[in-house]
Structure 1
């Protein structure tokens, strides 16, 4: 009696098409350099981070202000003629940052947001009730710290990044500038001490520069003015922590507007390459971009046609050749394992495997016969730190659950592997 097909033609077609689509989606995501479920950049302050020190909120805020926003993981994003936002880490390369700023002198404006917080993921030692409240990407702020790479920058960008001593007075954490004023979320204030005279945009109550702008092209070319650069020394005016306050959020947008309005710019690019998210061009990326996209689509259509023709068979499929029961040691072992699994007689596996391991160990140790006590004495001389063979064998013979049997058998295999390495 011949049984019917396990799957209908429509079901097989759906499986093939679905697998085909998922395969090419995986290729595209690999080529695009996406990072799903990973831990790369965790705890850093970048445009994709939703932790307190991140700038995901600023990205959404700028989008809401009708700017065209992009988060760039490619070095080509640094060449945008729109507004570029840099968020270098605390241990960034000052020379690399200087090169970026110099290359953008006549290309477009730049906003540089300095780091402040040393952030860490939630500890495993936290109570489960507290740990369950953390969402993916959330961090714990573990203190503020000034960064040193601004001192490496060439003039006129060079300045010193400083951390103000905690001031418990009422004015200790106040700020004002760009027609706005308010308080910082903490009394720990970061400020800049420029080496040259720069125009301060936002200052604290002690007139220390929290944000200032630089004209890098002053005196270079009067017919082709350079684009300005703003350094935001106090990131709590723009990060997710700071945007909880309406005045600080307005100040962050005001800094973007200050740079964009002067150059009539509507595009804002948040760079992520300085935070370790750089992605180089590869064949998969190019395959999904013009002008190669047309060739890729043509190839996909051709593959679909070939797959469709494969379903148009001539006549019924041929019956499989060969005996119904396969021969050989592999099939015998598979049949025996299937019988034990079906009968659930797992306890039958322990003693034979322990005896087999004893013979292997005796051969490795140069013993005449696989006597357990002799094996223990020889192992004590060769591997004095290891658990005796008899204990491991007893644990295997007493195991009843598959997981316990597997663990005990692995323990015996480890002995054999260590003896092999020592020879």
Structure 2
């Protein structure tokens, strides 16, 4: 008799390959990983470009314009990095386009803006620096005659782009103020790039009279010839940073924001149904669905006993009689009166399973089952359970004692889930 409790305890712990707490953690980790995956899938376009080098506003590399974005924000000028098409009637501010050698001419032409737009010409070829994520190494200048066709089409016929062969510190001055001395002197610039052409009206000139910033006739299209006046490599010089801010202030319309377009580099935000589920106004419905799923999970954890099978809408025969009787008892509010009878049924089932003698009286049978319960490691025998069933005063008490009786009967008869 002394070995029976150990055997039953060992059998109780071997009901599955994992403990309940382990399975709970597995489910929670799986749900968290799924939620993170859905969020990353929905907002992946917003995360692209942060560590990718290149001449765009999201890049922190030497040829990128992330430094100009940070500088502009620090001076209190509103900044917008555009990942989607702008409204056709938008005209406040300044749209900055930074094409490179791989820019698609069609994508560049599709960018519409009613206000002033500034095109920063490309100048450098760069290769990734594999020792530092997001950095680049200078490979060499892009020859003016090999500028992308998408950029040349924006310049028009007769436009000539040229480069100096030696480093220089150009002295910039306003072209619309004759006789004005040099006003901005940026830092050293390698291969200073300038523009010439009959359809261009100069805005800024260098000390030789070459165009650095110009406006195209009968349009609001401006061209900055040298990207080193804007990119992170050039902004390491205070003089270049001052020149860059002066250029932005000259071109901004109505003191509006500076808009950096990154759609031409492929960082366009597309339509995403999954993203809509996490943005207003649909995020409320998503939250309600998650709460409903959580409540369903909690309800499933609280269930005991085998799941009910699908039944007919209108039961037949004895089942209909049982359902009607149960409905009458429920309407009368006397469900708790059934607790003692359910306890007696459980006692009879256990007595039959353990082979208890049939001629035992109720107290003797209770005493026998209490002793067997203690040997099996049960926290309570049938006697306290019968007392609790007799004291049940509402449906909540009925469910509590019914759960205890069900667990006790299952362990005493060695039933399985």
Shift of the alpha carbon at 1:144? 1.1
Q: Call closer, same or farther: CA 1:196–1:311 in 2, change over 3 Å.
A: same
8 Å Cα contact 2:53/2:60 also seen in 1 = no
Specify every segment of 5 or more residues in structure 2 that has no aligned partner in the other structure, as ranges. Answer: 1-9, 175-181, 305-402
Q: Call closer, same or farther: CA 1:40–1:109 in 2, change over 3 Å.
A: same
**Which of 190, 206, 217 lines up with 1:187 in the alignment?**
190
Specify every segment of 5 or more residues in structure 1 that has no aligned partner in the other structure, as ranges. Answer: 124-130, 218-227, 323-423
1:116 aligned partner: 123
Runs (4 or more) in structure 1 with deviation over 6 Å come to 38-41, 316-322
1:263 aligned partner: 254
Deviations 1:293-313 (A, max 9, x none): 332222222222222323323
Q: Which structure has the bigger radius of gyration?
A: 2
Q: With structure 1 as the length reference, what TM-score do the two structures score?
A: 0.58
In 2, the alpha carbon distance for the partners of 1:231 and 1:69 equals 20
Shift of the alpha carbon at 1:25? 3.2
Q: Call closer, same or farther: CA 1:268–1:59 in 2, change over 3 Å.
A: same
2:63 is the alignment partner of 1:75: no
8 Å Cα contact 1:150/1:160 also seen in 2 = no
2:43 aligned partner: 32
Q: Call closer, same or farther: CA 1:197–1:39 in 2, change over 3 Å.
A: closer
In 2, the alpha carbon distance for the partners of 1:57 and 1:270 equals 12
Between Structure 1 and Structure 2, how many residues are aligned? Answer: 288
Shift of the alpha carbon at 1:34? 3.6
Matches within 5 A, 1:354-373: none
SS at structure 2 position matched to 1:74: coil
1:166 aligned partner: 165
Q: Call closer, same or farther: CA 1:159–1:277 in 2, change over 3 Å.
A: farther
SS at structure 1 position matched to 2:13: coil
**Which of 35, 49, 56 lines up with 1:46 in the alignment?**
56
Matches within 5 A, 1:174-213: 174-177=170-173, 180-201=183-204, 203-213=205-215
**Which of 246, 255, 259 lines up with 1:254 in the alignment?**
246
Shift of the alpha carbon at 1:64? 0.8
Shift of the alpha carbon at 1:26? 2.3
Shift of the alpha carbon at 1:62? 1.4
2:284 is the alignment partner of 1:294: yes
8 Å Cα contact 1:173/1:186 also seen in 2 = yes
Q: Call closer, same or farther: CA 1:184–1:290 in 2, change over 3 Å.
A: same
In 2, the alpha carbon distance for the partners of 1:7 and 1:216 equals 77
Shift of the alpha carbon at 1:55? 0.8
Say what the alpha-carbon RMSD is for the aligned residues: 3.5
Deviations 1:366-410 (A, max 9, x none): xxxxxxxxxxxxxxxxxxxxxxxxxxxxxxxxxxxxxxxxxxxxx
2:46 is the alignment partner of 1:56: no
1:239 aligned partner: 231
